[in-house]
Amino acid sequence: MLNVERPYPLLLRRPAYPASPRAREALESHINELMKLGVLRKFGHNEEVEVTTPVIITWHNKKIRMFGYFRAFNTYTIPYRYSIPRIHETLTQLSNQSLSLLWMLLRIIIRMF
């Protein structure tokens, strides 16, 4: 959730990440492949879509992967809006539960099979 109103600040309206012609060609081929698979689709000019800058990363084993560059976007999000529960607290709560909870879960799993 953004805590700024439209139009977005200049940091979010920057041009695309500069790339070499070779990287742009790899990006275009990767995007075309994802469009053929139905993962991505083109959108019309009247559709409201939040767009991020795509970044291609080449791993040491020559595999490529496309990521969204959300660093500028993340500077305007509210931190810890949905915090992740701490593992220690969760395990402590589970250790205080009786065995009846585990027995109930086991019966549910058995019914599934």
pLDDT of residue 50: 61
Predicted TM-score of the model (pTM)? 0.35
Residue 3 lies in a domain: no
The DSSP element (H or E) to which 65 belongs, if any, is strand 64-69
Q: Is 32 inside any structural domain?
A: yes
Q: Are 64 and 26 in contact (CB under 8 A)?
A: yes
CA 79, chain centre distance (Å): 16
- How many domains does one find in the chain? 1
Full domain range(s) for residue 42? 10-85
User: Could you read off the pLDDT of 84-108 as tens digits, one per residue?
Assistant: 667 777 667 777 666 667 677 777 7
Residue 39's identity, in one-letter code, is: V
- Residue 67 tokens read as 């990521």
